[in-house]
Structures are given as C-alpha cells and as structure tokens.
Amino acid sequence: MKSWIQFIILLYFLLGNLPVSFSQIYNRRDLEGKPDPQLSQKDNDFMDRQDKAFLDTVQSILAKCLPTVQPENRERTMAKMLMDAVFHDPYAAYRKPVQDFFHARIDQVIRELENTKVDHGVRIWKLYNMAFIARTKSVTIAFDLVSGITSGSEDFAMTPNQVEHLVKQCDVLLITHRHEDHVQKEIAERFIESGKPVVATEQTLKNEQVYSLIQHPERSFDKMQHLKVHQNTLVVVVLPGHQMKATDNNCYLVTTPEGITIAHIGDQINEGNFISDYDWIDRVSSKYKVDVLISNCWTNDIYRIVKGFNSQLVMLGHELELGHPVWDRVPYWGDEQYLELNYSKLKASKYPVVVTIWGESFHYPPKNSN
C-alpha cells in the first residue's frame, strides 16, 4: 500500500505541477536534438534528477514484479506509467538518466543471453521497439534488431560493444520491413560478417552493398520455406503483410526444430481503403498452429489480428519509440483513441497477453515442445 501511494504522489507532481513555461517549451516542434536553450539550466537539472528518481523506482519495481499474463500487478502497471511520463519528454533521449536506464536494460539482456540455456519451450527477450530475441534449446532468433539510434541521440543508442555482444548470441536476423526503427544497416552487416543469415523484404536496404547478401524469401501465405541456421533448419512462412499499401511488411511464422512456432508481424497494419491483408489474417489459424504472436501495439483492430492467429500467447512491442513525435510514442497506459485501438477488448478476451519493457523476458513452455 505504501508503494502504491508513493506512485500516486509521483504522478501527481509530474502531471499536475510542471511549470507552465516548461510545458510550453517542450510542446515546440522545432527540436534540434538537444534541450531547448530557452529552458534554464536549473530546470534541465531538475528534469534530470526527476528522471533518475522515476527510473530508479521503475528499476526496483520491475526487479520484483516480473512480466506476467494480464491482468498484472498494480505496482508493475504504475512503473510502466512512470516510464510513459519520462519518455514523453521530447528530449528524453538526450538526458543522461534516460540513457543510463536504457543501457542498463540492454546489459541485462546481454547477461541473461550469455548465461541462459533453454531446455524446454522458448524464452523471448524484448529489446528496443520491435526488437525481440527468441531462444529455444537449438536456436536463437533475432527479429528487427536495432540499436535505438532513431532516437536521434548516439548516447542513448546501444553502444557498439552492446550490439556486438547481442549479435554474437544470435543465430539469424529476420527483418520485417524497410523502416529505420526496424532495420539498421550496420547490424545487418555484422550478422553477415559473422556468417549468420539475414532475411528481409526486397524493399529493405535496397541501395546498400549488403543488399545482395540478404535473403529475400517468397511472400506467400501457402509456402513453407526452409532456412538453414548452422546445424539446424527453421521452417519459415513469410505472410505477405504491409504497413499501409506502399511498404511490404514480412509477417514471419517461424517454426523451430522443437516444433515451436513464433509469429512476428512487425508493423502490420490495415487501414483506410487498404484492408486486403485481412483476407489471409483471418485464416492463419485455420492453416497454421501459432504458439507466440509478437505484434506491434498500435495496429488497428489488434483484437481481429489476434483472433486470426489464435496464438497461445500474445506479446506486444513498439511502445515509446523515441524517433517518433511525442503524440506517436504509443504509451503503456494504452491510448485507445490512437487509431481507435481496442486493447480493452483484447485484454478482456480469452487470449493471454504479456506486456514487457526493454530488457525483460518471458518464458513460454508449450506442453507439446521437445
């Protein structure tokens, strides 16, 4: 009860007592990659101290309140709301407490990958944006791995050393589409230099030298393709998705040697007059068994997508991508007016939903896995 009251007090001071001048300045659109010179050093120092206090509290709560199927622990929910408050500062990526927090979260993933063997089922780590790493007994798969450089701050992004450690722990990189918050040329190159396959759409990195070394499998609802990964073979179906009409978005169904199928659908979205992808989305579960569905949190009619895949577990991503404007950094509190989302319907349904943050993992143990 005491910690719950503390959280309420913290949120009250953050959301209700910001100086008017600060709010006005931070709503400006002419951001130049650093705190606005009109903001006093005293105010900047205060914001840094506040971010550190909030993020230290977040760290302590997350350490004892691990990810779980919704509904989750109240303290954990409030910790994520504190993150919303910190990361909706347009200059968040340029604040040292924020940078330290993010680097600590990635270091946690690296330590766990270096020390975790999965004997049963699959463990899935969430990194930045839609970057997830899934490990079974035989293989470690990276999806949409990026450093966070789209935040605009090199000091926020993962360090080259962190990226090197992550690439070393993975066997293959699957990239859903061409947008920079989902693909990073240097990371794709590092996988290929390490002799590890990279898979993407034909639109991805098209004008880069690395393009010819990337695999571009057929996008087909009905075709099961084989991807050689060291001594193992993955069965991959590349569902022909889109982020609106102009951007091809590979929705991957990946079946590991243990028989576990993971779906990662990147920035799949059907909107306006372009809704043809529902023709296959509605039929996924009639043809394929899906254990885990990883979806972006902001796709419209997420409930319909989840019903189509009918997975045993749903994991969400893309919250608080700092390269987006503040209004487009989807919050953990679930802004249902944004794209007319229907999270409430999904979370009240029969489908198990797990919401993680950067650095966290969740273990899924299907009964029929080896």
Give residue 38's pLDDT.
63
Tell me the pLDDT tens digit for each residue of 193-245: 999 999 999 999 999 999 999 999 999 999 999 999 988 999 999 999 999 88
Query: Which residues is 125 bridged to in the sheet?
Result: 133, 361
Closest CA to 278 of 286, 287, 269: 269
Average pLDDT on 166-190 reads: 98
What CA–CA distance (Å, rounded) separates 62 from 75? 9
How high does pLDDT run on average in the chain? 89
CA distance 8 to 207: 50
- 317 has a pLDDT exceeding 90: yes
H/E run at residue 345: helix 343-347
* Predicted confidence band of residue 37 (pLDDT cuts 50, 70, 90): low
Q: Please state the domain extents for the chain.
A: 2-98, 118-364
The model's pTM:
0.90
- Which of 169-178, 268-277, 311-320 has the least mean pLDDT? 268-277
CB 239 within 8 A of CB 251: yes
* Mean pLDDT value of segment 70-74: 89
Whole-Å CA distances, 197 to 116, 150, 186, 210, 241: 23, 24, 14, 12, 21
The answer to whether residue 301 scores a pLDDT higher than 60 is yes
Name which CATH class applies to 118-364.
alpha beta
Distance CA 290, CA 176 (A): 18
β-bridge pairing 247-255 and 261-264: antiparallel
| Residue 338: predicted pLDDT | 79
Buried b (16+ CB within 10 A) or exposed e, 277-296: beebbeebeeebbbbbbbbb
In whole angstroms, what is the distance from residue 245 CA to residue 261 CA?
A: 27
pLDDT of residue 347: 79
CA atoms within 13 A on the CB side of 210: 21
The span from the CA of 132 to the CA of 295, in Å, is: 11
Least confident of 256-260, 287-291, 342-346: 342-346
- DSSP states of 163-217 as a string? HHHHHHH-SEEE---S-TTT--HHHHHHHHHTT--EE--TTTTTTSGGGGGSB--
pLDDT of the residue at 4: 53
pLDDT at 16 over 50: no
The token duo for 33 is 């990659």
Reported as a single tens digit per residue, the pLDDT across 342-366 is 777 887 889 999 999 999 999 999 8
